[in-house]
Amino acid sequence: MLTPIDARYRPIVLPDRPMGDDLLALVEPYQAIIFTQLRAVLDRTERSEFYPWIDTKIDLITGKDLPADHPLLGRDVVSGWVQGRGLESIARFATWLAPFAGDAAVDRCIERSRALAADLLARLGQARQRNGGHLHFFMTPAGDAFGFDAGGDRVPLALDAASPHGYSDLFSAKGMLAAAHLLRDAAAYDEARNFCLAVNDDVVARRFRSDQPQPELGARAWIGDAHSHGPYMISLGTAALFAEFEPGPDAAGLGLAMAQHVLHGHVNVGGRWPRLWEHDLVEFVDGAGEPYVDDAGRIISDPGHSLEYVGLFLKYSRAVRRCGGATAAQAAALADLEAAMPGVLRRAFANGWRPAVGGICKAVDLLTRDAVDDTMPWWSLPETIRAALAAWRVAEDEPTRRACLEMVASAHNAFVTHYVRPETHLMAVKVRDGRGEVVDQMPAYPDADPGYHTALSLIDAVELIVAG
């Protein structure tokens, strides 16, 4: 296989009904996307003399830097989401490059990745100390959490040990775990490990609260008496790291609890919710565990989140099977969950896929099947590629395997045709509207993706393609 540095990008288009061998053509362009994106993260961050954090403050429509003095977009605003996700991406990048060590250019990139991982690991640790053990969606460059009042002015936030954990904590904890493991820093690993487990405890106890200020569908961990599957789904990424770093029943059990909560708490299995279709995944449930009906009489599903759940679960289950340590009962539970994943995948993709314009819509009403939000973010496409490839690997019947490959082709072709921008580090524009036009919209945070959705998904995709 070519080293990632030697890989070249070509916008390969797959046939609508690909065979397994057709996927091999994706390896080199995916390598090129991964390497180009994450090298850009390194380059931009190393040049940022006055911004000591990962720098993806780039407008992906124009290719220009975001305005430095903007109150929301500027370099005096640091997002815990971006930094935690970026740290995991950079740590994984160094690990991904390791088999190619010995090439001088690769070795230099590994060295740079390790240096950035060490620096960011320390910065996030310092920011936690300033915020009672937490990170936040909005922070100053010094690491102090803040929000905005109704007038748009900054308001300091006082976080302490009693504050609930949020998504910045979840993303950062697993990023810190990955970085500490990469660096073989035992003290930092123990700290990150405890951080991960504390976040996990809040998720399980439903103390977890989203720190995202935007009212994006699915972004909040709760709405009144409604609870999201989001923290459980994302925690599967943490469980996958534990399964790799500390294989054994504890790591296996961590992921099983999260996956089972989503499947049995948010998915229509066995027709238990007659108004919905089999394998529909609802974004929110109420206090009684029923699908949450909002004030407009809708039951909301985010197809991208549903697809991400499948991909992250199968990433975790693959890590458990590869690294071992599960009990016989846990292995049986894993098999049961794996058997359900192709159904969840196919239903989520059918709910969200818009073939006329090539994208996956943000949110649908499961009662009417109408789009509640017809915008199509980029991130659900690489997440679908990873999820469908992983489901293809575990599917037991040929029709399901063919359906998985067709989903890979649809998501891949839309991604490279409508989203990827070769002139902007092979990053993808963030959002297209229901007509397929690129729009200037912020789906989660202002900064460009620091490799979390795209590069991490495609690293897994390459491994799944070349797996024996």
Listing DSSP states for 387-436 in one string gives HHHHHHHH--SHHHHHHHHHHHHHHHHHIIIIIEEGGGTTEE-SEE-TTS
Q: 47, 127, 54: which is closest to 89 by C-alpha?
A: 54
Per residue in 279-336, pLDDT tens? 999 999 999 999 999 989 999 999 999 999 999 999 999 999 999 999 999 999 999 9
- CB 226, CB 211: distance < 8 Å: no
Euclidean distance between CA atoms 362 and 214, whole angstroms: 15
pLDDT at 223 over 90: no
- Averaged pLDDT for residues 350-377: 97
Give the position of tokens 């037991």: 396
User: What per-residue confidence (pLDDT) applies to 214?
Assistant: 57
Q: How confident is the model at residue 216 (pLDDT cuts 50, 70, 90)?
A: very low
User: From the CB of residue 324, how many other CB atoms can be counted at a distance below 10 Å?
Assistant: 12
Task: State how far the Cα of 381 lies from the Cα of 443, in Å rounded to an integer.
Answer: 14
pLDDT digits (tens, 9 = 90+) for 112-164: 999 999 999 999 999 999 999 999 999 999 999 999 888 888 999 999 999 99
The pair of structure tokens assigned to 226 is 């409604």
Question: Which residues on adjacent β-strands are paired with residue 363?
Answer: 373
Q: Kindly list the distances between the CA atom of residue 396 and the CA atoms of 15, 39, 278, in Å, as whole numbers in the listed order.
A: 23, 38, 19
Model confidence band, residue 220 (pLDDT cutoffs 50, 70, 90) = very low
Most distant pair of Cα atoms in the chain: their distance = 60
Q: Residue 327 gets which letter from DSSP?
A: -
pLDDT at 434: 96
| Chain mean position to CA 73 | 22
* Distance in angstroms (rounded) separating the CA atoms of residues 368 and 276: 10
pLDDT tier for residue 49 given thresholds of 50, 70 and 90: confident
Could you give the CA distance from residue 415 to residue 94 in angstroms, rounded to a whole number? 25
Instruction: Give the pLDDT score at 224.
Output: 53
With beta carbons less than 8 A apart as the criterion, state whether 314 and 390 touch: yes
pLDDT confidence of residue 468: 60
d(CA 260, CA 135): 28
Q: Is 435 exposed, middle or buried (0-12, 13-18, 19+ CB in 10 A)?
A: exposed
